[in-house]
Amino acid sequence: MADPVTFIGQWLESIFAGWGLSSAWISVIMAALGVLVLSGSVLLVDILLVWVERKVVARFQDRLGPNRLGPFGLFQPIADVIKLLLKEDITPQGADKFVYNLAPILALATVIILWAVIPISVTVVGSTINVGALYIVAVGAIGTLAIIMAGWASNNKYALLGAFRMVAQMISYEVPMVIAILIPVILAKSMSLADIVASQSVWYIVLAPIAAVVFLIGAQAELGRAPFDLSEAESEIVAGFHIEYTGMKFGLFYAGELLHALTFGGLFATFFLGGWRGWGAETYPILGIGYFFIKAMFMYWVIMWIKYSFPRVRIDQMLNFCWKFLTPLILTVLSITAILDKLMSGVPYWIYVLVMLFSNLVILYFVYQAVGRYARKERQKVADPEKVQVNFRVRSSTPSQAS
């Protein structure tokens, strides 16, 4: 049974063929229409996410959220969009106007084009390329460029400082996140997102739970959401890299952030939750679309849950956590996964799943022991700081005494 998207596509192709257009022209027109429909649909969902985020955070903080404009406050995002469109467009004096105006467009466009390779159902995917995982990494890096462009072109030292912080954070956490993406690639033996989804008879979150958690943490940092929202530390650097943006230009940054959260939810579902796979999804592709968005929205809710539950960390804590903990951990998991995948070639799949899961549990046990020892040392420093200081003085004076 064809899904509505495929049915409408075949219907349009028959109409264009009836007009006498060649197959090449029909392909170009259908591709252009597909881009317009996908972009428009994603932007409409983005408007809904404004309402969803405000209602969810209201529930977390024991408030009501939007409840006046329309049923359940559903029309509030429309009012917000109108307000942003009517606000005065201000360009700072001394700003690089071209780069300044291009940055918010690039920030939102980067998120939209990520959806080009995400399989939404068995028949609905923008482009099935055999390097889909590499495409995700490459396009995601463009968002970093948009942020540094916004901070530099604003001619504001606080905006530039916020951009530097955000770029340092994004580049740092891209490393463990990209390594985490390599684990589903190894398990599926393909970089195509469609192949990764098709190979998940057992969700990869079962085979590689550590990689899934690291990917989620990296996504949270890439989004700049709490506890990694250092770019928006108002007490230090006002509103971050977009402090000089007003009206709809600021709205594009905000829309890009919300859509990016849903995009990461969709990517998490694709890499670790089976994507569109579910009961009857191959026979009825419309069910696959439903399964995919349920999983993506659930992960979007998890991202919001983390954001509104944890306090902000210091920048040194954030970078130490990335380079001294997450990166060595995920490199260890990647190495062990690659070795086990090679050794277990040809074994029954249920044994393969159990061995991969057991290896992750063993790694978690040793991580728990190491973190426990580190926590005890830190508690000892807090409980008896004089002893720690005396030990430090003794160690620092030893070389001079020896000389």
The rounded radius of gyration (Å) of the Cα atoms in the chain is: 24
Contact (Cβ atoms closer than 8 angstroms) between residue 59 and residue 123: no
> What DSSP state is assigned to residue 126?
S
Listed residue (37, 25, 16, 28) closest to 124, CA to CA: 37
Owner of token pair 């170009």: 28
Identify residue 387 by its one-letter amino acid code.
Answer: K
Q: Is 91 helix (H, G, I), strand (E, B) or coil?
A: coil
pLDDT number for residue 403: 45
pLDDT at position 265 = 94
Backbone angles phi, psi at 31, to 5 degrees: -65, -45
- The candidate with the shortest Cα–Cα distance to 232, out of 260, 257, 259, 262, is 257
With both helix axes pointing from N to C terminus, report the angle between 247-272 and 23-60 in degrees, rounded to the nearest 10.
Answer: 100
Q: What is the DSSP letter of 321?
A: I
* Non-local CB neighbours of 345 within 8 Å, separated by 6+ positions: none
Contact between residue 277 and residue 197 where contact means Cβ atoms under 8 Å apart: yes
Full-model pTM: 0.88
What is the DSSP secondary structure assignment for residue 20, as one 8-state letter? T
Dist CA 241 CA 164 (whole Å) = 8
Residue 245: the pLDDT is: 92
Q: Under a CB-based contact definition with an 8 Å cutoff, are residues 49 and 259 in contact?
A: yes
Q: What angle do CA 276, 59, 112 make, to 5 degrees?
A: 40
> What is the Cα–Cα distance from 142 to 137, expressed in whole angstroms?
9
What is the residue-level pLDDT of the chain in tens, covering all 403 positions?
556 777 787 888 888 888 888 888 888 888 888 778 878 888 888 888 889 988 988 988 888 888 888 888 999 989 988 988 898 888 898 899 999 999 999 998 898 889 889 998 888 887 888 999 999 999 988 888 999 999 999 998 888 888 888 888 889 999 999 999 999 999 999 999 999 999 999 999 999 999 999 999 999 998 888 888 876 665 555 777 888 998 889 888 988 888 999 999 999 999 999 999 988 888 888 899 899 999 999 999 999 999 888 888 888 888 899 999 999 999 999 999 999 999 998 899 999 999 999 999 999 999 999 999 988 888 888 877 666 555 555 555 555 454 4
Rounded to whole angstroms, the Cα distance separating 270 from 118 reads 8
| 311 contacts: CB under 8 Å, gap ≥ 6 | 226, 227
pLDDT of residue 214: 95
Cα–Cα distance measured from residue 376 to residue 401, given in angstroms and rounded to the nearest whole number: 31
Six-digit token pair at 84? 């942003």
Alpha carbons within 13 A on the beta-carbon side of 213: 12
Closest CA to 211 of 108, 376, 364, 40: 364
| Domain boundary assignment for the chain | 87-381
Cis peptide before 328 (omega within 30 of 0): no
237, 158 in Cβ contact below 8 A? yes
Longest dimension (CA), the chain: 94
